[in-house]
Amino acid sequence: MSAGVYHYSDEYDVGNTPYVSASNMNNGIQQRINLDPDFKGNCIVTGKVGCTCFYQSEDFCATSDVNIFRPRAFNLNRKIGLFIVSIINFSENYKWNYGRQCRIGDSKKINIKLPVKMVENEYIIDPNKEFSEEGYMPDFNFIENFMEDVENAERGRVKDLLKII
C-alpha cells in the first residue's frame, strides 16, 4: 500500500497520463496530464475521503488524497480487481468522510471477504495461512468466472437496448 504524490498545478499541462484524485467519478481520474506516471497500473485505488474505490488499469499519477493497493500474495487482473473494488465500495464507503479520512493505516485494516476454494464441500486450507489466519484461500477462478458472467449479462442488456433504439 502506498499514498499518492501531490503535483502542483504549475508542474503539468494537459497530456495523456491519468491523474487520479479522490473523485468518485470518471474512475477517479481528475484529468490527464503530461507528466510521466508515478505508479504502474493494474492496481486498486481508494480515495481517502469516502474511501471510493476504483480499479486502475493504466499507469498513472495520483494525488496525495488516494491510497494505492497492490496485492502481495496473488496476481491481480481486471476481473479480480473489479470484484474487489465492488466489495470495498459496498463495505467501506459509508464509514469515511472529510472529517474521518481513510488513511494508509486505516486501509490496512480493511477486511475483504472473498469466496473461498472448496473441493467436494470441503474448504482447502493453506498451511502457510497466506490469505487469512484460518488458512482459507480465495477462489480466484470462481471470481473470474463470476465477473465474466456479469460482463456477458451486461453486454446482452446493452445489445437489447440498442435494438430498441
Cell numbers given for 102: 481513510
For residue 92, pLDDT over 90 is answered with: no
- What DSSP character marks residue 14? E
Model confidence pLDDT, tens digit, residues 61-86: 999 889 999 998 899 999 999 999 99
Model confidence pLDDT, tens digit, residues 49-65: 767 889 999 999 999 88
Q: Between these two residues, 70 and 164, which has the higher pLDDT value?
A: 70
Give the per-residue pLDDT at 39: 97
Average pLDDT over all residues of the chain:
88
Can you tell me the distance from the alpha carbon of 44 to that of 49, in angstroms, rounded to the nearest whole number? Answer: 15
Beta strands 61-62 and 66-69 are: unpaired
> CATH homologous superfamily of domain 1-111?
DNA methylase specificity domains (3.90.220.20)
What residue ranges do the domains of the chain occupy? 1-111, 114-165
Give the per-residue pLDDT at 51: 72
Q: Between these two residues, 31 and 165, which has the higher pLDDT value?
A: 31
Can you tell me the distance from the alpha carbon of 146 to that of 83, in angstroms, rounded to the nearest whole number? Answer: 9
- pTM as predicted: 0.84
Range ranked top by mean pLDDT from 7-11, 46-50, 97-101: 7-11
Model confidence pLDDT, tens digit, residues 3-36: 899 899 999 999 999 999 888 889 999 999 999 9
For residue 160, pLDDT over 90 is answered with: no
Can you tell me the distance from the alpha carbon of 153 to that of 156, in angstroms, rounded to the nearest whole number? Answer: 5
Instruction: Kindly indicate the confidence band of residue 101, based on its pLDDT and cuts at 50, 70 and 90.
Output: low
Instruction: Kindly indicate the confidence band of residue 99, based on its pLDDT and cuts at 50, 70 and 90.
Output: low
Calculated CA dihedral for residues 140, 43, 72, 132, nearest 10 degrees: -50
Question: Minimal CA–CA distance to 136: which of 146, 122, 151?
Answer: 122
